Amino acid sequence: MKKPILLLFLSLVLSSLQAQFIPHHVSYNRVYNLLDELAADGFIDINTTVKPFSRAFIAEQLKSVAGNKGLNKRQKEEVLFFIQEFAPEYRRLPEARFHLWNNDYSKAAIVPPAFHYADSNFTARITPLLGLQLSYNSKAANPLIDKRWFGAEFQTTIGKHLAVYGSLRDISVKGDTLTSYNYLNNLPGYEYKEATYGGDFSDSRGGIVLSDSWGAIGLVKDNPVWGDSYQSANILSGRTPSFPMITLKLQPVKWFELNYFHGWLISNVHDSTNFYTDNTDRIYYRPANKFMAANMFTFTPVPKLKVSFGNSIIYAERNIQAGYLIPIAFYKSIDHLLTKGTGTENQNSQVYFNVSSRNIKHLHLFASVLFDEVSFSRFLPDNKEQNPMSLKIGGAMSNFPLKNLTAVAEYTYSNIITYKHSFNTLTYASNSYNLGHYLGDNAAEMYLALLYKPIRGLDLKLSFTDARKGNDFEYVRRVGNVNMIRQIISQPVLDNIVWHSTALNFNAQYEVFNNVFCNFGAAYSNIRAYDSSSAIAFETEKTAADYLRRFTNPYLHGKNLVVSAGVNFGF
């Protein structure tokens, strides 16, 4: 495209960007990867500590770099490609092929499949969601996994400040299901319907958000991801099934940002005082209430350096506690006020920190730490007790020394009892899936990856993961007068490895048109387990067979080569 035509196109497309807040789900990782790459190369300055981003924010970042002479050829093509994806944010209709109809205000197209409407006061977008993913492992008893899904999503903006969006996916899996809250994998979690042939589940997300250029407040159902990571964040990984929440985002100045939510989690614990009965007097117990409040404060002391900290609490009262609706509160202090005199344990609170630096061109360095419980005496060298905490450090190098190549390395280390609690209703989980890192406590992971993008739309990724898990202990505070938890957290972390997984993965993905994908993958893994040698009581398993059965789907026991391929419309 010649330069004058390009400049005219960009000026027309980008002149009317709107500020409505519609979260762009983290599963569409291609645009997130591009933004991360552009930030590392110094073209934009973004806060990747808290996701998802809004579509308006992403569109603004694309607008800021469009036509930049410093971009390489593939980056320029990617930016123009994604500008089409975010056309509604510019109050315009995207380019498309094979129209069912096309006029000044609306169009329905087959390639890419979508309906769009846009005028000065209202925009709407409806897209189908269709997908097929096949996985094959010749060593498995049932070698083929057939995963299919269909549904639709819509996004609307009304005026300058209101956005309404939603999506529904109905997913069917024939063959061995690879996800379970006990299995140690990084796949999204779902609540399965009972089925002998595999599993069925649905995923519904959406919300209504009121926003301005400096902030947004909404009632949404989504998957928050907190903490920098390229594999699995250790503060909030986003792996749990989406849950409803009240959200608040404030950014009154460039150097400060506040993120907050109050969520309704799923406890999966029966409340014996809350039940239904039918005409046969059969009792149907309801799940116990479970809530979460969390905040994150992010400061930018110098450009491209983000320093974040915050705290959260999981509580299981009958009603919402007003103190936890305060976005800037320190929730542990409120917890002491509400529960200290009850003679029982407090609620489950956490504090966390995240640092992200892109001050060296092409290089992103980050670290995050979550403290599930803190006693400063445990930091002394002669104290054997370890604070329940999870630490992650990592970095990514983009477009240096080779263009279009990104190298990633990150390491995660979690102490014993991190994310757990002695009350089942207060665990750091929803639908029994851990909210933090997928490995849970007493675990470590090394993740290495190379991501190569030779042309627009084609991503080639080679990754290696080494994951280890130590003894799995129940959180038991006392037995009689014996303080069991102090004995448990005095054990050396990862001293006795009971589960070990090494995996080499290759994946190729090509986005043919906006939201139209095809992919191919091959994964070689070796997953094994070992007998426990721990003499401490309250370990959940003891034998290698029990640990392997609990943490790994039989489909992947031992050494396996799994080949997969798929196509999908939407993500």
3-state secondary structure of 260: strand
Residue 569 host element (H or E): strand 558-569
Query: Which pTM does this prediction carry?
Result: 0.93
Tokens of 96: 């498309």
> How many CB atoms neighbour CB 74 within 10 A?
18
- Beta-strand runs (E) in 112-197: 114-118, 122-136, 144-158, 162-174
Listed in sequence order, the residues at least 6 apart from 431 whose beta carbon sits closer than 8 Å to its beta carbon are: 181, 189, 191, 240, 241, 265, 266, 268
pLDDT in tens, 236-266: 999 999 999 999 999 999 999 999 999 999 9
3-state secondary structure of 73: helix
DSSP tag of 278: -
φ/ψ of residue 82, rounded to 5: -75, -25
Which band of pLDDT confidence, cut at 50, 70 and 90, is reported for residue 7?
Answer: very low
* Side-chain-side CA neighbours of residue 380 (13 Å): 6
> What pLDDT, on the 0 to 100 scale, is given for residue 1?
44
Residue 277 host element (H or E): strand 270-277
> What pLDDT, on the 0 to 100 scale, is given for residue 571?
67
| Domains in the chain with CATH codes | 3-569 (2.40.160.130)
Task: Report the sign of the C-alpha dihedral through residues 488, 491, 492, 495, in that order.
Answer: negative
Which band of pLDDT confidence, cut at 50, 70 and 90, is reported for residue 18?
Answer: low
Residue 12 host element (H or E): helix 3-13
φ/ψ of residue 11, rounded to 5: -65, -35
Which band of pLDDT confidence, cut at 50, 70 and 90, is reported for residue 196?
Answer: low
Query: What is the spatial distance between Cα 67 and Cα 80, in angstroms, rounded to a whole number?
Result: 9
Peptide bond preceding 301: is omega within 30 degrees of 0, i.e. cis? Answer: no
Listed in sequence order, the residues at least 6 apart from 284 whose beta carbon sits closer than 8 Å to its beta carbon are: 275, 276, 277, 278
**Which range is least confidently modeled, 189-203, 345-359, 511-525?**
189-203
Tokens of 492: 């050396």
> What pLDDT, on the 0 to 100 scale, is given for residue 171?
92
Higher per-residue pLDDT: 461 or 100:
461
Contact 148, 132 (CB under 8 A): yes
**Could you give the C-alpha distances from 558 to 496, 517, 551, 562, in angstroms and in order?**
19, 31, 12, 12
Query: What is the spatial distance between Cα 40 and Cα 173, in angstroms, rounded to a whole number?
Result: 38
